[in-house]
Amino acid sequence: MQPRSSSSKLVDSILDTCGYGKLLECDSGMGMLLPEFVARGIDASIVVQSEAEVERINSAYPARCLKASPLRLPFPDEHVETVVSIGGLDTLAPEDIQAALREFYRVSSRYAFVRVSTGQNAAHAQRDWWETRCFEAGFRKHPLFYQVNPYESLNNDSADILIALEKAPREALQSYDLMVLVEERLLHTDMLRETGRRSDAHCIRYHKAAEHIRPGDRVLDVACGLGYGSHILYSASKARSVIGIDLSEFSVNYANAHYSRADAVRFEVGDAQSLSQIPDNSIDFITAFETIEHVPDPDIYLTELRRVLKPSGRLMVCAPNNWVDETGKDPNPYHLHVYTWERLIDECGSHFLLEKGFFQTAGGAMRYHHSPRSWIEVTPEKASEQDGEWVLLLCMADPVDGKRISYEETAWSLPDSSDFHVSAFARGYENPWIVRSMVAIGMRAGSETLLTSLQQRVLETSNETSADFGAALCGQIYALVRANSTTDARFREVRNAILRYAELPTPTPHQLRWQVSLLFAGGELARKKGEVHVARDFYSRCAALDVMPYSPLLGNKTLDALYWLTVLAVAEQDLKAARTHLERSVVEATRLVSASWLNIIGLPERPLTFGFPEISQLMDKAARAAYMLDLLDDCKAKPGLFHRESLGFFERRLRELEISVDTLSHQVIDTEARAQELGRQVVKLDAHAQELGRQVVKLDAHAQELARNLARAQNTARFYALRGVRFVSRRISNLITKNKP
């Protein structure tokens, strides 16, 4: 696999936020992204300031380049949907930067995407300087801003920073400019029009919440403030609609001016403790950020949130974590309660099931002033070694208690046909709400503990012949498969439960779905436990059931069962049986895709999003059978090659990707090991150098001592030599005097 270029990655970031609309690149002169945009089918053009560059670019991409200054773009208002500036703004003087940004605002109809270097000019070398200039020009942060700039990455911006922007409506700016926000800031502000840690902290919560919104959800943003969070929720998820409720009339007016969207996003004045305008069991997801500490009675507040939430609906709640001063009180006069991790768990746990917990820190405030931005997921239990400025919980309205509440399908459009079954949960389950919380991948609870609890409660409260019971039992069996430590007694108990359910006469389509799934899961559990004969029996029973009354998609289990029957047959050298299983896989796959596609995609004009991916998996498993058939006659002579051929086409690509990742991981590990070894060698050399230095110092001291001793010896010698001369002189003088006549 070829590595992707930096320009390709940058274009991905631009398109992932701004989409496929008409685009204008205002470049410093290189035009490096234009080929990428054109190759991807984007109606893109570019302005540069060099005549030579215009000629060069137009020779390759006719009529897509013209000479112009970013300070005066030769286009009418809202000429393009997105303006992109890569490496051009940071070459301008500060006053020209503002003029260029205002031109970007005028020419674009929706977005701007800017990359600037923070090292060009020390006067504006920080992200907050650039973001503020963009806000002053009429932009706000793009609702997907934090997809381009992950929260923790903002702790250490690189030399080049990315700023994804969205135009604030011109009419809204006339009524609510930035000065209005300054005046209102103590109570509330628009975090998409503010820079810095606090803005990042408030916005990222909504991004994190959007990850848990299911397709088609109706979302309630309680105490929505100025509406920026509701805007993020709608833009970053597959929510059908978002309604924001706030006590402040100013906030609601501002939010409607800036962020309302026909029937999809709207804002109303309302009390979080009395959501009278919201019907019972009508909301799928609620965000309730930094509100619980403000309301007079948190229990009434949580009761009201539970009232409006559907069974299996989710709530994400956030509170400041133990914000107290030296007196033990919260210094914020608007906070009526002090919350801790333990208190939030106690109060929310009395109304909802707890799915996930989070600790968030922004830094720069009263608590953790010097800490970096962080977002940490934890198990929602009182005992936690984590801490942070805010505590958050993802909660769920109990689906088991909602059994009597009428079910409404909001995730998918369903055909009006009695022959349609694949997602007709209202007809297939005693309590269809459990599908969202316990069954559907991508929708169900992300907590293994919560899933296990739900499964056990469904087993205890549902009819043993129901699809509900089959789903819960299947979930338990896969948990045992993952645990890989099933006792013999538990295995026998599970085996008998599977066989009882599999023997239900004239099953409904959804009962059939769980008969097939349970038999396959039983085969998986038996194989993991080494019970080969039991595994073969379960796989054979699974493959014998016709999945068509439910959906061809269930044939994935059929083909997987036949695959393992093939593997077990080859292991016992029974190639005749192996060939039978493989040939049947091919026949079954072609039969399944040749039938009606009603229970694969549903309505062709609004196809089920999982239909094509799952049928492509089925085809890949058929490809696996074809590969194995091609080499079956040589499997004894070439056993390793036969094993490698037992992968489907997409499985092979995944294997190649895994190998590439493993190779890169080993290279990183080797590089790190070499770096550590070099570090150790540097330390050793440094220690050796220091030891040599110490020896040099000692030798120097010794030499100096020798020099001093030599000097003393020389001085002594001179002294005694001089005394000797003087003595001899006196003796001679005395002799001469004595011998004079």
How does pLDDT run across 98-149, given as a tens digit for each residue? Answer: 999 999 999 999 999 999 987 655 556 789 999 999 999 999 999 999 999 9
Q: Residue 617's pLDDT band (boundaries 50, 70, 90)?
A: very high
DSSP code at position 438: I
Residue that is written with structure tokens 């030798």 in the block: 699
* Contact in structure between 219 and 283 (CB atoms under 8 Å): yes
pLDDT above 60 for 150 = yes
Report the predicted TM-score, pTM, of the whole model to 2 decimal places. 0.88
* Contact in structure between 449 and 635 (CB atoms under 8 Å): no
pLDDT above 70 for 657 = yes
* Contact in structure between 237 and 143 (CB atoms under 8 Å): no
Q: Which pLDDT value is given to residue 475?
A: 97
User: Of residues 684 and 445, which shows the higher confidence score?
Assistant: 445
Q: Residue 721's pLDDT band (boundaries 50, 70, 90)?
A: low
Q: Which pLDDT value is given to residue 496?
A: 97
- pLDDT tens figures, 255-308: 999 999 998 999 999 999 999 999 999 999 999 999 998 899 999 999 999 999
- Candidates 476, 482, 435; CA nearest to 453 is 476
* Range with top average pLDDT, 321-325, 383-387, 568-572: 568-572
Tokens of 193: 């029009």
* Contact in structure between 486 and 494 (CB atoms under 8 Å): yes
606-607 and 390-396 as β-strands: parallel, antiparallel, unpaired?
Answer: unpaired
Q: Which residues contact 109 (CB under 8 A, 6 or more apart)?
A: 21, 78, 79, 80, 81, 167
* Contact in structure between 118 and 125 (CB atoms under 8 Å): yes
Lowest mean pLDDT among 41-45, 69-73, 542-546, 646-650: 646-650
Q: Which pLDDT value is given to residue 3?
A: 59
Mean pLDDT of 384-393: 91
Lowest mean pLDDT among 57-71, 481-495, 708-722: 708-722
* Contact in structure between 204 and 148 (CB atoms under 8 Å): no
Q: How many residues does the chain have?
A: 741
pLDDT above 60 for 334 = yes
Output the CA–CA distances (angstroms, integers) from residue 334 to 301, 363, 388, in the order listed. 16, 21, 21
Q: Which pLDDT value is given to residue 719?
A: 67
Tell me the one-letter amino acid at 472. A
Q: Which pLDDT value is given to residue 87?
A: 82
Q: Which pLDDT value is given to residue 738?
A: 61
User: Of residues 687 and 168, which shows the higher confidence score?
Assistant: 168
Whole-angstrom Cα distance, residue 165 to residue 174?
Answer: 19
In terms of C-beta density within 10 A (0-12 exposed, 13-18 middle, 19 or more buried), how is residue 321 classed?
buried
160-167 and 108-117 as β-strands: parallel, antiparallel, unpaired?
Answer: antiparallel
pLDDT above 90 for 668 = no
Mean pLDDT of 175-194: 80
> What are all long-range contacts of 595-599, with beta carbons under 8 Å and residues at least 24 apart?
595/548, 595/552, 596/419, 597/552, 598/415, 598/417, 598/419, 598/420, 599/419, 599/420, 599/421, 599/422, 599/550, 599/551, 599/552, 599/553
Please give the radius of gyration of the chain, using alpha carbons only, rounded to the nearest integer.
37
pLDDT above 70 for 488 = yes
Number of neighbouring beta carbons within 10 Å of residue 526: 24
Q: Which pLDDT value is given to residue 155?
A: 92
Q: Which residues of 552-570 are buried (b: 16+ CB within 10 A; e: fewer)?
A: bbbbbbbbbbbbbbbbbbb
